[in-house]
Amino acid sequence: MRKLNRYLVIAIAMTMIACGGMTSDVGELDAVLSQDFGGLSEEDEEPMFGEEDTYADLEEADADPEAEHDSDPAEAEAESITDESVTDLEDEDGERPERDRAVVFAIRAAWGRKHFDPADTALTQWNPTFTTDCGVLGIRRLVRFDREDSVVRPRTGPQSASFVSATAPSFDGVVLALAIPAAERECVRTGTLTITSDALPEDIVLPLSPDFGNTRLRVEVEEHREFVLMAQRVERRDGSRCIKGYVGGRWIRATNADGAIADKGRFYGRVLGPMGELRGHIRGVWGQPREGRFEGRQVMFGKLIDVEGRFIGLMAGRYGEGHWGGGWHLKPSYRNLHGFMGGLYEVAPDETFDGGLFRGRYASAACETPGVEEPLAGDDEEGTN
């Protein structure tokens, strides 16, 4: 009952958002989309773009796992090895060779509905278990867990993590750290990550490799439900300016003055670090411009700020068939490419037009494995736009 009451509150909040600043009529969106970078600037903003009520539900989405180390030795071992492995990457002088460092992957997984629907009150029991035969699994964040959802403790061992989780109108998820100490790093070429769940049609077995950090997985479970997993390799912090993390939030369709739903709209969400720590916020627009250099193409533009509202960057990219991707820029210039962004999105149907979701990753170009998302290129010769 607590879960359903909570979703009722979310539904009310989303109705308020649909009537407020995060959606707009199609005429306003057409004008914005026809401008380079959607007319977005490098100016600082108020925290959360001054839309605290809009972002309120997203801000409450994640929680620390509250590990019970004293009564769960497997949890304590996993967290200890994870912390030591992350510390091992902080090689300030950069003199140690790569082969002598730990390997750490940040994994963000979610399961439940593709889009938010307050009318769907039927629970899906997921109860997922993540198991590896290489390294250990540290539990870093719980995503949208309610009181009825939990970590199964004591854990059977540091290489396995199980959860009690049921979803109805929305989704649950976790952020895991797959940490492989330097002395064991050769197993990254032969190991596996296996996911089992009461709701999955079959087990998911993912082979590990040095490129496991490029993994992006979407598994259809049944109508309107899915399991999604993204990973990133955590790189050493030695002044290389490599910045990585995740983004995620709502994908909203716009409405005309007469209430008709359009195939264009806005998105807004949070900017997170690899282990789920809040770094800032993002918002932007998507659709097909009626004029301008990208006339008729499915494009999206966004702006990123930190938690204090300071400018982080602009995003310019494309979307289509459930995928989005583009460039991360430090000023409105297509040739001024700072990094890459991309991931998955789901457009909600007309009856729940404000319930769409998007998820993704970002990485600066200075990273050794920045990702493969395609930036949006301009056709200007000088590169000033």
In order along its 385 residues, the chain shows pLDDT tens digits of 444 443 333 333 333 333 334 445 788 899 999 999 999 999 999 999 999 998 987 876 778 787 666 689 999 999 999 999 998 887 655 667 778 889 999 999 999 999 988 888 889 999 999 999 999 999 999 998 987 889 999 999 999 999 999 999 889 999 999 999 999 999 999 999 999 999 999 999 999 999 999 999 999 998 789 999 999 999 876 666 889 999 999 999 998 877 888 899 999 999 999 999 999 999 999 999 999 989 999 999 999 999 999 999 999 999 999 999 999 999 999 888 999 999 999 999 888 888 999 999 999 998 987 766 666 665 443 333 4
Res 380: pLDDT? 42
Long-range contacts of 296-300 (CB under 8 A, 24+ apart): 299/33, 299/376, 300/267, 300/324, 300/326
- Residue 7 counted as domain residue: no
Which of 234, 260, 285 delimits the end of a domain? 234
* Residues 72, 78: Cα–Cα separation, whole Å: 10
Nearest to 381 by CA among 331, 334, 313: 334
Same domain assignment for residues 111 and 225: yes
- Residue 371 counted as domain residue: no
27: containing domain: 16-60+242-364
Q: Are 304 and 286 in contact (CB under 8 A)?
A: no
Which of 214, 234, 254 delimits the end of a domain? 234
Query: DSSP state, 197?
Result: -
- Residue 1 counted as domain residue: no
Res 92: pLDDT? 58
Give the position of tokens 């800032």. 280
Res 378: pLDDT? 52
- Residue 372 counted as domain residue: no
Res 120: pLDDT? 86
Res 288: pLDDT? 95
Backbone φ, ψ for residue 171 (5° rounding) = -145, 165
- Residue 121 counted as domain residue: yes
**DSSP 3-state of 208:** coil
Backbone φ, ψ for residue 37 (5° rounding) = 55, 30
Query: Which residues lie across from 113 on neighbouring strands?
Result: 225
Q: Are 291 and 56 in contact (CB under 8 A)?
A: no
Same domain assignment for residues 227 and 253: no
Same domain assignment for residues 38 and 166: no
- Residue 350 counted as domain residue: yes
Res 372: pLDDT? 62
Same domain assignment for residues 157 and 218: yes
Which of 184, 215, 234 delimits the end of a domain? 234
Same domain assignment for residues 74 and 170: yes
Same domain assignment for residues 216 and 308: no
Query: DSSP state, 264?
Result: E
Nearest to 327 by CA among 287, 362, 357: 362
Res 341: pLDDT? 95
Same domain assignment for residues 309 and 162: no
Same domain assignment for residues 276 and 359: yes
Same domain assignment for residues 104 and 160: yes
Q: Are 368 and 235 in contact (CB under 8 A)?
A: yes
Query: DSSP state, 29?
Result: H
* Residues 344, 101: Cα–Cα separation, whole Å: 32
Query: Which residues lie across from 232 on neighbouring strands?
Result: 106
Radius of gyration of the chain (CA): 21
Number of domains, the chain: 2
Q: Identify the burial level of 372 via C-beta atoms within 10 angstroms of its C-beta, where 0-12 means exposed, 13-18 middle and 19 or more buried.
A: exposed
Same domain assignment for residues 88 and 176: yes
Res 14: pLDDT? 35
Nearest to 270 by CA among 99, 54, 89: 54
> Omega before 289 cis (within 30°)?
no
- Residue 373 counted as domain residue: no
- Residue 382 counted as domain residue: no
CB 4: neighbour CB atoms within 10 A? Answer: 13
Same domain assignment for residues 124 and 99: yes
Res 68: pLDDT? 65
Same domain assignment for residues 210 and 309: no
Q: Give the chain's length.
A: 385
Res 18: pLDDT? 35
